[in-house]
Structure 1
Amino acid sequence: MKIAFIVHPFPSVSETFILNQITGLIELGHEVDIYAHKVGNISKIHPDVEKYHLLEHTYYYNKGPENNVVRMIKALIWLTANFSKHSVPLIESLNFFKYGIQAISLQLFYATIILLKHKQNYDIIHCHFGPFGLKAVLWRQIGAIQGKIITVFHGYDMTTYLKQHGEQAYDILFNLGDLFLPISQHWKQRLIEMGCTDKIAVHHMGIDCQRFAFAVRKPQPDGQVNIVTVARLVEKKGVEYGIRAVAKLIASNLNIQYTIVGNGYLREKLQQLIKELGVGDSVKLIGSQPQPEVIAVLNNSHIVLAPSVTSSTGDQEGIPVALMETMAMGLPVVSTQHSGIPELVQDGISGFLVPERDVEALTEKLSYLVKHPEVWPEMGAAGRSFVEKYYNISKLNEELVEIYQNLLDDSSNKSMSNTISNITCSSVDSSP
C-alpha cells in the first residue's frame, strides 16, 4: 500500500509513537511518505529516522515566503508554469469564497504545490491529530491528494483545540473523513458525544517492547530509591506536583533521588520551585534526551512518577507513551486518574492512581513504594505483561494494516465496523 502520514513536526523527539507506526509499516512492506507542517528538532534525531532514510520521504508544506509580495509573485509564476497540468486543484485552492482565509493567504495554494510535486495518489492518508485530518479532507476536496482518510485523535486536539474553535470544529471532518481512530476509550466516548457515531474504533499507540528490556527492580545497597519522570515540562504533565510530593518524602528523611527527563516552557519555573523547596541536591532536571540516554536513566530507576493533570486551558493527555516504556522495563507506577491513563495502569496491580493535583495522595503512594520494595517485582511484572499484551507496536501495526485493508475493500465496507471492533476489542475489554 501507498500511505501518506500527515503530521505537525517531523522528526519529533517527543512523538516516537508516530515514528513507530511509520517504521513498522515500512517493515511490513508498505511505502510511506510524510507530509509535515514544519521541521522538528533535528539536533536530536531518533536513530530510526536515519536507518529508514525517512527525511528522503518527508515533504514540508507551508504558506510560502513570509513577504506578501514575494509570496504572490512566486505563486503567480508557479501557477502560470503548471496551469495546464494541474488547473483544477490550483484554481480550487484559490477559491476564497469557499475556503476563506486559507485561500486568500495562499496557504492552501502552497500546500497544494507541495502535494502536486510528489505522489498525490495514496491508498491511505493517515492523519495524526484532528486538525491535520481537517487539512487532509480539504486537500482531497480540491483534488490535491487522493486516498482514504484516517484521523487519529490524541489529546490536545480533543481539548485545547475544541476550546479555541468550538464543539463543531470537526463536523466537516466527521462528514468527509473515512475512519476515526481515537487512541483511548476516553476519547472515543468524547467523539461520540460530539456526534461522531460511526466509522470509529479505538486503536492504541504502542512501543517496541524489544527495545525496553525488563528488569526486576531492587533497592540499591545504600538504600537510595531513584524516582523518574519522563515528560515534556508543560502544565498537563503535572511535574510541579511530582516535585512537591518528592520534597515531602525528602523532608521525612527518605533517601530519594528524583530525575526529570524532558524540556519545555516550564523549566525555569520548575527549577525555581526546586530551589525554593531546598531539594536541589536530590531533584534534577536533565532536559530532553535521545532514547538511548533515556533508557540508561530508566535502567537506574526504581519507580516512575507520572502526575498528569488537566491544564488550565483544558488540555489533557492521551495515554503517555513514555509511561508504556517505563512499565515495559518493570518500573512500578504512581500516576493520576487522568484521561486514558487508567486504561494503561491497573490501579493496585501495576501501580497506583490518585486524583489529579493531590500532592498528599502522591506522597502517600510514593512513600508506600519506597518503604516496600518487596512489591516492586510483582508490580513491574504486571506492567510489563499488560504492555506486551495490549500496547505492543508490532501487534498494533499488524492490526492497523488489517484496518487499512478493510477500509480499502469495497466489498467489505458494510462489515468494516464489526471487523475493526473485533480487531481492537481485546484492548477495549481489557481496560480497567
Structure 2
Amino acid sequence: MLPSPAARRIAVAVKGYPRLSETFIAQEILALEERGIPLEIWSLRHPTERAVHPMNRKIKARVTYLPEYLYEEPIRVLRGALWSMRQKGFGRLMQTFWRDLKRDFTANRVRRLGQAFVMARELPAEIGHLHVHYLHTPASVVRYAALLTGRSWTFSAHAKDIWTTPDWEKREKLAEARWGVTCTAHGAENLRSLSPTPDHVSLVYHGLDLSRFPAPPEARPPRDGSDPADPVRMVSVGRAVSKKGFDDLIQALAALPPDLHWRFAHVGGGDLLNSLKAKAQQNGIADRVAFLGPKAQPDVVALLQQADLFALPSKKAASGDRDGLPNVIMEAASQKLAILATDFAGIPEFIRDGTEGQLVPPGDWEALSNALNLLAREPERRKAMGDAAYERLRHDFSMEGGIDDLEHRFRALVENGSKDPVPA
C-alpha cells in the first residue's frame, strides 16, 4: 500500500542504533521528536555496546531492526523479496540495482538489496517519507526501498560516507534524493559539485544542545606540569580508528620532555585499541596513559570537567575516510576546556587557530608534541582558549539553528507531502 501524499510519519534510517559515537544523531532525533515531528527509527544493525546515552532513553520513536545479515533471518528476507516482486516499482529497482552491482560487485551490495526488500514490505502505510543518516550503505537501502514503494527520500551526510563513496554513486543518489544536508562546509562543497543544483545540498551544523550539559567549571587548577603529584590532565574521546590520529597522539606524548608531568586518558572503543595500548607500552608511557573504553555521555562530560587539555589529532585515513566536525570537540568546548586539534576537515570551521584552540598540521606528531608541551605549561593560555571556545559554541554552534531548519523541512513533508516545495 502506497503512502498518502502527505508523509504523516517519517522513517529515519541509521546504520546502527543506539551508538555511543553518534550523539549527534540521537540529539537530532530527540529534538525533532520534542517539537512534534512524528518519527520512526529503522536500523541496519543491532546495538553492540552496553552503555547507552541518557538522551537515547528519552527517545520514544519505535525502533525496527532490519536483518543485519540476510542468512540470519531467511524467512523475513524471503517474504520481503516475494512481496517486492509484485510491486510496480520492482522493475525500476532491479534496473538500478544491476547497474550498481556491475560497478560494485560485492556481497555488501546484495545485502542492501535484501534489507530494502524487508524495509519496503514492513513500512507502515502512514510512513510517507524516508530520511537516512549517511550517504553510503544506509542510503543504498533507503534508495532501493524508495524506488520500490514510490516514497520520497532525503539524507544527512556526515564524514566517512562523503569521502569513501565513489562520485558516480553520490551523483546518482543526489539526483534521486529530494534534498540533502551535511554538517561541514567542506562536505557541502564536495556534494554540491555533484548535485543537480547547488541548493540541493544545504549546510546544517549539528551544534550542541547545551541544556543537556552541566555548566562548565568556574575555575580549573592552574596545573603547569611542574608538580609530579599534580600532573597536567590530558584527555581525548573517539573511536580508535585511523582517521582519529591516536597513533600520532601516542607518539607525541612519548616525545614530551621528562620535566613535564602529565597523565592522559582516552575514551572509546575501536579496532585499533589494542595496537594503541601496545604502542604506549613500547614507548614506555603505559603507566601514564589510561584507556577507559566506551563511556556514556555523563561519564565523558565528568572527565572533560576534570581535565586541563583536550586533544584530537584527526587526519585522512588510507581508505580516504576522514572526520567531519567531531561533536566531541564541541562537547569539550561546553566545559571551557582548552582544545588542541588538527587543521583538517571541518575542525577549523569551529576552532580558529590561536583563539578557540590550537591547530597543528594533520599527521605531524612532532608539531603535536610541541603544542602539547607548550599548552601543558601555560594554564592562563588554556583558560583563554577554553573561554573563547565556549562563547563560540553558545553564539554560533548551538543546536537550535540546525533543528529549526530540519523542523521546517520535515514539517512541510508531514503536513503537505510532495505538494510542498523543496526547502532551499
**Which has the bigger relative contact order, CA under 8 A and spacing at least 6?**
2
Counterpart CA distance in 2 for 1:94 and 1:75 is: 20
1:129 positional shift: 0.8
Change (3 A) 1:94 1:195: closer
- For residues 283-308 of structure 1, the C-alpha deviation after alignment (integer angstroms, 9 at most, x for no partner) is 11111111121112112101100100
**Does 2:54 align with 1:47?**
yes
In structure 2, the residue matched to 1:201 is: 202
- 8 Å contact from structure 1 (residues 217, 331) kept in 2: no
Counterpart CA distance in 2 for 1:290 and 1:76 is: 38
1:134 positional shift: 3.4
1:404 positional shift: 3.1
In structure 2, the residue matched to 1:61 is: 66
Q: Could you say what secondary structure the match of 1:201 adopts?
A: strand
**Does 2:355 align with 1:357?**
no
In structure 2, the residue matched to 1:238 is: 245
Alignment-mate amino acid for residue 376 of structure 1 = R
Counterpart CA distance in 2 for 1:309 and 1:38 is: 27
In structure 1, the residue matched to 2:5 is: none
- For residues 371-400 of structure 1, the C-alpha deviation after alignment (integer angstroms, 9 at most, x for no partner) is 111122221111111112233223421222
Change (3 A) 1:140 1:233: same
Change (3 A) 1:109 1:230: closer
Aligned residues: 400
- 8 Å contact from structure 1 (residues 4, 32) kept in 2: yes
In structure 1, the residue matched to 2:313 is: 307
In structure 2, the residue matched to 1:160 is: 164
Normalising by structure 2, report the TM-score: 0.85
In structure 1, the residue matched to 2:385 is: 379
Counterpart CA distance in 2 for 1:290 and 1:171 is: 37
1:320 positional shift: 0.3
Alignment-mate amino acid for residue 88 of structure 1 = Q
**Does 2:133 align with 1:128?**
yes
Change (3 A) 1:347 1:123: farther
Q: Could you say what secondary structure the match of 2:168 adopts?
A: coil
Counterpart CA distance in 2 for 1:104 and 1:368 is: 49
1:200 positional shift: 1.5
Alignment-mate amino acid for residue 116 of structure 1 = R
Change (3 A) 1:124 1:325: farther
Alignment-mate amino acid for residue 153 of structure 1 = A
Alignment-mate amino acid for residue 217 of structure 1 = R
In structure 1, the residue matched to 2:216 is: 214
Alignment-mate amino acid for residue 389 of structure 2 = G
Residues 222-301 of structure 1 aligned to structure 2 (within 5 Å): 222-249=229-256, 251-301=257-307
Q: Could you say what secondary structure the match of 1:126 adopts?
A: strand
**Does 2:396 align with 1:390?**
yes
Change (3 A) 1:79 1:327: closer
In structure 2, the residue matched to 1:429 is: none
Unmatched tracts of structure 2, length 5 or more: 1-7, 102-106
Identity of paired residues, percent? 24
- For residues 148-183 of structure 1, the C-alpha deviation after alignment (integer angstroms, 9 at most, x for no partner) is x22111111122233xxxx21122212111112121
Residues 82-93 of structure 1 aligned to structure 2 (within 5 Å): 87-88=86-87, 92=90
Normalising by structure 1, report the TM-score: 0.84
Q: Could you say what secondary structure the match of 1:381 adopts?
A: helix
Counterpart CA distance in 1 for 2:78 and 2:287 is: 61
- For residues 397-421 of structure 1, the C-alpha deviation after alignment (integer angstroms, 9 at most, x for no partner) is 122212334665878737x42xxxx
Change (3 A) 1:160 1:198: same
Change (3 A) 1:376 1:95: closer
- For residues 178-198 of structure 1, the C-alpha deviation after alignment (integer angstroms, 9 at most, x for no partner) is 112121110111113334533
Counterpart CA distance in 1 for 2:410 and 2:37 is: 11
- For residues 241-295 of structure 1, the C-alpha deviation after alignment (integer angstroms, 9 at most, x for no partner) is 111212222x332111111111111111111111111111211111111112111
**Does 2:411 align with 1:413?**
no
- 8 Å contact from structure 2 (residues 234, 307) kept in 1: yes
Change (3 A) 1:368 1:393: same
Alignment-mate amino acid for residue 186 of structure 1 = H
Alignment-mate amino acid for residue 366 of structure 2 = E
- For residues 7-62 of structure 1, the C-alpha deviation after alignment (integer angstroms, 9 at most, x for no partner) is 111111111110001111111112110111011225112223333344xx111223
In structure 1, the residue matched to 2:124 is: 119
Unmatched tracts of structure 1, length 5 or more: 418-432
Alignment-mate amino acid for residue 177 of structure 1 = A
- 8 Å contact from structure 2 (residues 66, 115) kept in 1: yes
CA RMSD of aligned residues (A): 2.9
Deviates more, 1:361-370 or 1:397-406: 397-406
Alignment-mate amino acid for residue 87 of structure 2 = V
- 8 Å contact from structure 1 (residues 226, 256) kept in 2: yes
1:341 positional shift: 0.5
